[in-house]
Amino acid sequence: MPKGFNVLFVSSEVYPYSKTGGLADISNSLPQALNSIGNEVRILTPKYGQLDERRLQIHEIKRMKDLSIEFNKKKHKFSIKSSFIHGKNTKAQIYLLENNDFFKNKGIYQNIRTKKDFPNNDERYMFFCKTVLDVLEVLHWKPDIIHCNDWQTGLIPAYIKTLYKDHPLISDIKTIFTIHNLAYQGNFAKSSFNKTGLPSEAFSDETGMLNGKFSFLKAGLAYADKISTVSEKYALEIRTDKNYSCGMEKLLTKRKNDLVGILNGIDYNVWNPNFDKLIPYRYTNQEIPLKYENKRELLNKYKFEYSEDIPLIGMITRLVDQKGFDLIVESFDELMNENIQMIILGAGEEKYQKFLLKMKKKYPKKLIVHIGYDEELAHMIEAGSDIFLMPSKYEPCGLNQMYSLMYGTVPVVRNTGGLSDTVNDYKKKDGNGFLFENYDSKDMMKAIKLALKIYLTDKNKWYDLIRNGMSHDFSWKASAKKYTALYKNIVASRK
């Protein structure tokens, strides 16, 4: 195997240590995929207060215990702990940053108890970014590249290019910034910038300033050597369409030649109906009837009637605007008028939680709602549903439509971002799902009704859609190669 690159992969969420969405899945599976083709990727993430060291097999590293760093004119103690993530034949080392001032409380971005954002999220992730660099002095392992992900890591490239620009160990480390979601920007009051210790040039219109606020994301995009995002379509959308660019159009146009879209893969060790330990009946694309046994079990769990003639629509999602909830709210009664059953698993905005609970009361025989986060149920819904609904307003990549395709659950999605890059229209030879164009509830309902009609009247076609989805290659193979090529390109630019 050719010698690859040393990469420090920095992320605020890594499954199974912490997760609010797809970033956690990617931060687990991409490093392993990159390692399996000859790179040495190690992960660094905060050790949040809720992490159970024993269950997650997190260990002390003696020489990295009780270190200290100066941040915002104060000394802060921290330790780096170690753990490993494993696949069947792959693994990756993960370092966890432990610190009592910023990461002791339970919760990732929000306090688990109050369900409110931590008021000091700016300081928490400033401290994180700064410490990532200081850790390198004691790690005895030097990355060629630091791979940053989302706004929480946005200051790392800015620090390297300014405060550390003459640092003997750090100055020649290159950075990639991957956008998983351009709408989450880490924008804070100007006063927050003063705590970073960055020089004033980092707070200009060209760098970290966005509408007078200090933006971690913008700083990352301005200073990173390369920028990537998680699908080709989204890369194009954020650069060319104001509805997607979230105020970053000028900067992204300027950085056009440094911006690429690389589609996420999925982790077949976790999401594969043939090996999934969280579903009662495992199946391949040759054993589709077993899928219906999972449907029966899922409905049984909620004491719902099972019938082959009643299609089950599933959703697993953060309950936020991005995921198309205003369309769902608008058309809910019309949807419930159809002869369907529906199961929704989600957590998020209060208004959507309330709405769903209200609908559950209104349609007790048709609708199952589970508010909260439930890994096992997520697998059951993928295996047991007939149709997966994902009407996103925008979708950088989206993992659930890919999981659905793998599980033979036909997706109905909006034609945007990664949904466009993974779902093929049912009319095509390699069709695997249904797409609608406009962000409009009528269009969404039309696509759903079409899917229902084909499900009920054309079983052969439906099985073709299922098989096409299940036989598609969503592994990391191709994308891991693309990231490695990007690393190669960026390291070659080093003087």
Interface pick for ligand ADP out of 236, 288, 336, 347 (rule CB under 6 A): 347
| DSSP, residue by residue, 394-406 | --SS-SHHHHHHH
181 binds ligand GLC (CB under 6 A): yes
180 binds ligand GLC (CB under 6 A): yes
375 binds ligand ADP (CB under 6 A): yes
Cα 410–Cα 414–Cα 420 angle in degrees, nearest 5: 80
Q: How far is the CB of 23 from ligand ADP (least distance, A)?
A: 6
Stretch that binds ligand GLC, among 6-14, 15-23, 110-118, 194-202 (CB under 6 A): 15-23
Beta carbons within 10 angstroms of residue 142's beta carbon: 12
Interface pick for ligand ADP out of 273, 398, 408, 431 (rule CB under 6 A): 398
- Contact indicator for 348, 319 with CB cutoff of 8 Å: yes
Stretch that binds ligand ADP, among 22-30, 99-107, 190-198, 471-479 (CB under 6 A): 22-30
Q: How far is the CB of 153 from ligand ADP (least distance, A)?
A: 16
Interatomic CA distance for residues 382 and 399, integer angstroms: 12
Interface pick for ligand GLC out of 10, 17, 22, 152 (rule CB under 6 A): 22
Interface pick for ligand ADP out of 21, 154, 408, 417 (rule CB under 6 A): 21
Interface pick for ligand GLC out of 13, 21, 226, 431 (rule CB under 6 A): 21
Interface pick for ligand ADP out of 399, 452, 470, 480 (rule CB under 6 A): 399
Which of ligand ADP, ligand GLC, none binds 374 (CB below 5-8 Å, type-dependent)? ligand ADP
Interface characters, 393-422, with ligand GLC (x: CB under 6 A): --xxxxx------------------x----
Interatomic CA distance for residues 52 and 47, integer angstroms: 10
- Contact indicator for 391, 413 with CB cutoff of 8 Å: yes
User: Rounded to 5, what percent of the chain is helix, strand, coil?
Assistant: 40, 20, 40
Tokens representing 148?
């940053």
264 binds ligand GLC (CB under 6 A): yes
Interatomic CA distance for residues 122 and 189, integer angstroms: 9
Interface pick for ligand ADP out of 91, 167, 318, 481 (rule CB under 6 A): 318
Which of ligand ADP, ligand GLC, none binds 37 (CB below 5-8 Å, type-dependent)? none
Interatomic CA distance for residues 313 and 452, integer angstroms: 10
246 binds ligand GLC (CB under 6 A): no
22 binds ligand ADP (CB under 6 A): yes
- Contact indicator for 407, 382 with CB cutoff of 8 Å: yes
Q: What single DSSP character describes residue 81?
A: E
Nearer to ligand GLC, 264 or 385 (CB): 264
Q: How far is CA 138 from CA 10, 67, 395, 424, 490, in A?
A: 17, 9, 39, 49, 25
Q: How far is the CB of 376 from ligand ADP (least distance, A)?
A: 9
Interatomic CA distance for residues 16 and 391, integer angstroms: 27
Nearer to ligand GLC, 251 or 397 (CB): 397
| DSSP, residue by residue, 199-255 | -GGGSSTTTTEETTEEEHHHHHHHH-SEEEES-HHHHHHHHH-HHHHTT-HHHHHHT
Interface pick for ligand ADP out of 58, 170, 378, 490 (rule CB under 6 A): 378
Residue nearest to ligand GLC (CB): 22
23 binds ligand GLC (CB under 6 A): yes
- Contact indicator for 392, 417 with CB cutoff of 8 Å: yes
Tokens representing 325?
């909830």
Q: What single DSSP character describes residue 65?
A: S
Which of ligand ADP, ligand GLC, none binds 265 (CB below 5-8 Å, type-dependent)? none
Q: How far is the CB of 400 from ligand GLC (least distance, A)?
A: 8
Nearer to ligand ADP, 359 or 378 (CB): 378
Cα torsion at 436, 437, 440, 443 (round to 10°)? -40
Helix locations, 16-154, DSSP H: 22-36, 121-139
Interatomic CA distance for residues 436 and 320, integer angstroms: 20
End-to-end CA distance of the chain: 26
29 binds ligand GLC (CB under 6 A): no
Within 40-90, strands assigned E span: 40-46, 59-60, 67-71, 74-86
26 binds ligand GLC (CB under 6 A): yes
Interface characters, 129-158, with ligand GLC (x: CB under 6 A): ------------------------------
Which of ligand ADP, ligand GLC, none binds 230 (CB below 5-8 Å, type-dependent)? ligand GLC
Interface pick for ligand ADP out of 11, 99, 185, 400 (rule CB under 6 A): 400
Which of ligand ADP, ligand GLC, none binds 466 (CB below 5-8 Å, type-dependent)? none
Which of ligand GLC, ligand ADP, none binds 311 (CB below 5-8 Å, type-dependent)? none
Q: Is the dihedral of CA 124, 265, 181, 344 positive or negative?
A: negative
Tokens representing 382?
């993928």
Tokens representing 237?
């959308």
Which residues lie near ligand GLC (CB under 6 A)? 21-23, 26, 180-181, 230, 264, 395-399, 418
The residues of the shown chain that bind ligand ADP, judged by CB under 6 A, are 21-23, 25, 316-318, 345-347, 373-375, 378, 397-400
